[in-house]
Structure formats: C-alpha cells, structure tokens
Amino acid sequence: MNNADVEKRLNPDASLSVDQPAKADNEKDQNGTDANNKDTADQEQPKHLSGYAVVFNSPSKDLGGFKEVIDPHAFDNVDLSDVYMVSNHDMSQVLASTKGGTLTLNVDDKGLHFDADLADTTAAKDAATNVAAGNMSAMSFTFMEAPDGDTFTKDDSGQVIRTITAVKSLFDVSLVAIPAYDDTNVQVDKRSYTAWMQQTQQQKENTNMTIKTISNEDHTESRNYEDFIRSHGEKRDGLTTTTAGAVVPNEVIKDVLDLKQSDYDLAKYVTVKQVGTPVGTYPVALVNNGTLATKEELAEIGDIDATLFKGVDYKVQTRAGKIYLSDEIVEDSEVNIVAEVKSQLAKLVRNTNNAEITKLLLTFTKVTAANLDDVKHVFNVDLDPALSLSVLTNQDAFNYLDTLKDSEGRYLLQPNVTAPSGKQLFGAPVIVVSNKILATPASGALPMVVGDLAQAVFLAQKNQVETNWEKFDSYTQGLAVILRNDYKQIDPDAARYVEITPATSSTGK
C-alpha cells in the first residue's frame, strides 16, 4: 500500500458521549451491594462510547485550495469488518475493534455512527475520562479513496469543493483532541486536485487562454519513438539518437523513473538524486546533531561542531537489459506499444534497484542475534535515536516476526496502516521483500536490515535511458536497454544488517 494513498480526516462534530452500562435495579454483586453503585460499576463494567466518526456533507476547512465533504453514499461498498478504534491514530492504543465485536459501525442519514465498548485497559480508561471531561471532543478517521472516488466542483462564490464519493477502505476511527480540520492532523492526497486543476487549465487553454499543461513537443517525440519501434529502428526522425540507438523521450521515461509510486521498489526508501555528469560528488544531508554555541557581541560566528553534509562520490555504471517484443505487438497498430515498453522498462528498473540496494545493505555492520532482545539492542544502542528507523526483511523473517507472541498470547508485531507491510516492530515500519531479493542464508538465519535507509544508501541516477532495436536470437527480438546509475553507501552508522537465529523451541520472547 502506497502511503500517499492513505488520508486522515477529522470530524469536529463527533457528538461524543460516554456512559456506564448499568446492571438491573434488583441485581446485587457478590457482597450484596447495590450493583448500580458508581464505584463498583466503574470497576466492573466497561465504558461505552458512542458518536459519529464521519458526518456527511459537513465541509472541512481549507485543505490547500479546496474544501472537502463526504458524500452520504461514500461508504456504500466499504467492508467494515476489520476496523479499529484507537486514540490519536496510535495503533498501540487500541480501544475497540469491529473484528473483536467491541466496535459497531452503522451508516445512517447523518454519517458513520459508532458504538464502542472500550477495552479494560489504561489507555481506554484515560480516553473515556478525557471524553467525559470534554478534553477529547472530536473524531478522526483513516481511509483510502476508491479509484475515481472524488469529484471537484466550484460553488457560486468560486470555492472549490472536493466531494469524496467512494471510499475503498476504512482503517481506523480515532479519538482526537484537535477541534477542527488543521494542517497538523489532515493528510491530503492532492493528486486528484492537481489533475482536476490541469484539466480546468486545459479547458481554459482551449478557449484562448495561455495556460499550457503538456508540451506538444513531448507528444511529438513520443509518437516518433513509436515509429522507431515499429520500423525496427529504421525511422529516427524527431528523436535524439546516439551511436547505440535512440534516447527514450522524457515523456516516456519520467513515469518509469518516478520512484515514489511502488512500495515494492526499494528506491522509494533511499536517497535518490538525478545527476547530470557520469562522475562526481553529491552533497547529502546527514542527521543533524549540531548545536548553536554562545556568541559574544561583535565576535565572529563559530562553526557548528557537527558534520551536516557528506559528499558522496559516484561513478555511474552502464547496465543493460532486454525488452522483448513479439511481431504481433509490433505490427498491431491498435496496441499501445510505447505503454508496453514503458511497463517492461519499469520492471527492469525496479528489479535492478532492488537487487543493487539489497546488495549494498548487506555490506553494513553485521549483528548476530539470538532473539528479539538482541534486535532491541540494535534499536536502543547501536543506532542513533535521531534516525528514522525502518525494518527491511524477507518473507521468511517476516513470517517469524509475524507469528511471535508475548506471554499473554498477543502478537508482537503491531498494526500500522501506513507501513508497506501493514505492521511495525518496536514502532518502526516493516518493509517486506521476496526471498529472491533478500535471500535467507544457507545457515537458516533470518535476515533483516534495521536503519534509516535514506541515510544509508545513495542512488545516483542519470535520466538518459537509451534503447536500440536488436534481434536477440533466432526467435526473439526487441529493444536493448542501456541504463546508467550508481549505488553508494552514505553513512555506515545509519543501518545494521541483522541475522537472527531463534531457538527452535522458542515461539518468541
């Protein structure tokens, strides 16, 4: 799941109420005391919380160019069987859940109503107390919009209104203290807004406005590149060419090299910089541990006693691959052959990134662990607390972690809807790659990398990608691809490579 697709919204009109379910009037406790005595009830009965997590057609504050409302039919096709109620979106403070039968969600004319029997935990008791005292009076919810699940319109005053018409998934409803839509608690995915604005601008252009969103030159070059492919490399008019072949047009390659789209591309998590020269040094910002020194009047400002940047030397290397194209695809004019090339190229780039980044991560200091206490030592002592830690692991190690339970039978991995795997370890999001990318050692030890991947790995990437039409063997043909980039270590103390070998009789600590 892409983190950019997940959005949080706050409902200040939650109509929260907390009450204490009472026993029957004639019911006595085991000592013969009236069961409706408040002190006894507080100790024995769960707190009941109810209200609205979502209110339909209630406009938000300005979210950066537009306001937002939730359509009454937005939850028509949403599966509400696995939703958590938490405090302040903290998945370690679960108050109730639909799966556990302690949270009920119902859509009515006003919005998404909830009833919750709070768990008998300190966090739940604190939450109930804060609601009763009025300290927490609002609800927030975390959701993912369905494809084409929003529309944009303008009202009579010119205000842009985004209407969420279809929600794909609801992850949690949360008690919060912030009483309105604020920048600090609203995460807005503005891609659909940007697309709408571009569409609006294009419409203005068609009525003699001067706004331009997509250059005709890009479209022309893309069409020329299609001619290059279909002619088996014979037609090169309108293309940038090299001795090896044709340079892939910017319109085609920019989507391939947009490394923020796929959770499964490890380049998403490291530091990626576009470089213009094949050899050079790129300054990369490090974790800032510097302090400001006392300065006397008229004295010169002293240097900060810390290394804020590190120059990473790179030398791009040539990597090549093959894009296979059948005669049918090449000759069928109805097939979008450029899209086919783009799809195959994206997979080649992703697979190359994953292999090279994983290879580099294995060069970091190795830690041999016998249990999770040893892994905790890496978190607590080996790595700087200022780092933004994550855990990269393979399928085997994730399966081990995901089945660990504490002494009370509770799973140790905690849910985290923003983590790529949906889980977190010791508060750090867990990233899972296949065993083919991060292989399990022959010893049977389970591999994982703990660290700040953006501080650990630098990817120097040249945008220029070249393709040349070739016959690969007697039966296949296609495009030979030439990609130029480099992968370097930034800070050797930003990560640790951990191999954990748990005792076979142990199910977790």
In this prediction, residue 509 carries a pLDDT of 43
Check whether 494 has a pLDDT greater than 60.
yes
Cβ atoms within 10 Å of 110's Cβ, excluding its own: 15
Q: Residue 363 and residue 487: Cα distance in Å, rounded?
A: 12
**C-beta separation of 450 from 375 below 8 A:** yes
Q: Between residues 4 and 231, which one has the greater pLDDT?
A: 231
SS3 168: strand
φ/ψ of 327, rounded to 5, equals -60, -35
Where helices occur in 380-489 by DSSP H, the ranges are 395-402, 453-456
Check whether 464 has a pLDDT greater than 90.
no
Cβ-in-10-Å burial (0-12, 13-18, 19+) of 146 comes to middle
Mean predicted lDDT score pLDDT of the chain? 79
Q: State how beta strands 279-285 and 309-315 pair.
A: antiparallel
DSSP at 308: -
Residues 194-221 pLDDT 10s: 666 666 666 655 544 433 433 445 567 7
DSSP at 299: P
The residue-averaged pLDDT of 434-439 equals 92
* Domain range list for the chain: 3-197, 252-290+306-509
Q: What is the 3-state secondary structure (H, E, C) of 66-116?
A: CEEEECCCCCCCCCCCCCEEEECCEEEEEEEECCCCCEEEEECCCEEEEEE
Rounded to an integer, what is the distance from CA 143 to the centroid of its chain?
Answer: 13
**C-beta separation of 462 from 278 below 8 A:** yes
Residues 67-91 pLDDT 10s: 888 999 999 988 999 899 888 777 7
Check whether 166 has a pLDDT greater than 70.
yes
In this prediction, residue 38 carries a pLDDT of 46
**C-beta separation of 118 from 126 below 8 A:** no
Using 50, 70 and 90 to split pLDDT, how confident is the model at 175? confident
In this prediction, residue 172 carries a pLDDT of 87
Check whether 304 has a pLDDT greater than 70.
no
Share of the chain above pLDDT 70, in %: 75
Task: Answer positive or negative: Cα dihedral of 34, 36, 38, 41.
Answer: positive
Check whether 364 has a pLDDT greater than 90.
yes
CATH entry 3.90.1690 includes domain 252-290+306-509: yes
Cβ atoms within 10 Å of 301's Cβ, excluding its own: 8
Strand order in the sheet with 103-107: 17-19, 48-55, 111-117, 103-107
- Which amino acid appears at position 481 of this protein? V
Query: Out of 236-250, 354-368, 482-496, which region has the weakest mean confidence (pLDDT)?
Result: 236-250
Residues 2-25 pLDDT 10s: 554 667 666 666 666 777 655 444
Using 50, 70 and 90 to split pLDDT, how confident is the model at 180? very low
Q: Residue 140 and residue 219: Cα distance in Å, rounded?
A: 43
In this prediction, residue 105 carries a pLDDT of 92
**Contacts of 332 by beta carbon, 8 Å cutoff, 6+ apart:** none
Check whether 398 has a pLDDT greater than 90.
yes
Share of the chain above pLDDT 90, in %: 22
Place of tokens 């001067």: 210
User: What are the C-alpha distances in Å from 448 to residues 86, 445, 454, 458, 493?
Assistant: 29, 10, 16, 19, 16
**C-beta separation of 82 from 99 below 8 A:** yes
User: What are the C-alpha distances in Å from 373 to residues 360, 426, 481?
Assistant: 26, 11, 46
In this prediction, residue 262 carries a pLDDT of 60
CA diameter of the chain: 97
- Which amino acid appears at position 162 of this protein? R
SS3 409: coil
In this prediction, residue 68 carries a pLDDT of 84
Residue 20, sorted as left (phi over 0), alpha (psi -120 to 50) or beta, turns out to be beta
Cβ atoms within 10 Å of 494's Cβ, excluding its own: 22
Q: Between residues 452 and 276, which one has the greater pLDDT?
A: 452
Q: Between residues 185 and 261, which one has the greater pLDDT?
A: 261
Which of 35-39, 124-128, 460-464 is most confident? 124-128
The residue-averaged pLDDT of 293-309 equals 61
Q: Between residues 44 and 171, which one has the greater pLDDT?
A: 171
In this prediction, residue 42 carries a pLDDT of 47
Q: Residue 449 and residue 453: Cα distance in Å, rounded?
A: 9
Which of 251-260, 275-284, 326-335, 375-384 is most confident? 375-384
Which of 22-36, 134-148, 374-388, 495-509 is most confident? 374-388
The residue-averaged pLDDT of 225-246 equals 82
Taking CA 428 as the corner, what is the angle to CA 423 and CA 431, rounded to the nearest 5 degrees?
55
In this prediction, residue 73 carries a pLDDT of 92
In this prediction, residue 505 carries a pLDDT of 42
